[in-house]
Amino acid sequence: MYVSRLHLVLYCGGGPVYVASASLVSDDNHAGSADGDTSHLVADALRKAERKAAKKARKATRRAEREGRGDPTAGQKPCDLCGKSVDLLVRCQYRGSRGEWRMVCGRCWNGTSGGVVDGDADHPEYRYGGLWKNRRRAQKQAC
Ligand SMILES: [Zn+2]
């Protein structure tokens, strides 16, 4: 009869995130079947540790987003004109949009509207239809 202790450590982002240990008690009289049980236990503990580590990683990502430290491009949408992903889009119609509402970034909006919210004499086909803001936007550190 012997006892062996298994330690499982998964590494995630440089540090050990989860340690699983299991005591395996094997009876010498049933060495054959004990070996089978051992590998089963190891696989089981590994699966559990992996699941736990994955869950922890998901949580960390969500927390980072909440605290404004997440992926700065999370939740962004592309401009219909230049294709750049931004946190703020202007919904508008303009010459060339053929009566359809488009979402454009601030820079492109200057070109479609002349830089005036309600448009100017040079942009008679321009119509303003609201703003879209990225609610998941990574917050800038307030000074
Ligand atoms: Zn644009």
What's the one-letter identity of residue 124? P
Q: What is the pLDDT of residue 97?
A: 94
Q: Are 21 and 30 in contact (CB under 8 A)?
A: no
Mean pLDDT within 10-16 = 56
What's the one-letter identity of residue 43? A
- The more confident residue out of 38 and 58 is 58
- The more confident residue out of 116 and 14 is 116
Helix (H) or strand (E) holding 78: strand 77-78
Q: 83-117 pLDDT, tens per residue?
A: 999 999 999 999 999 999 999 999 999 999 998 88
Distance 121 CA to ligand 1 centre (A): 22
Measured CA distances, 71 to 6, 57, 138 (Å): 37, 14, 7
* Ligand 1 ion local residues (Cβ < 5 A): 79, 81-82, 105, 108
Distance of CA 7 to the CA centre of its chain: 31
Distance 40 CA to ligand 1 centre (A): 56
- The more confident residue out of 86 and 67 is 86
What's the one-letter identity of residue 17? V
The 10 Å Cβ neighbour count of residue 89 is 24
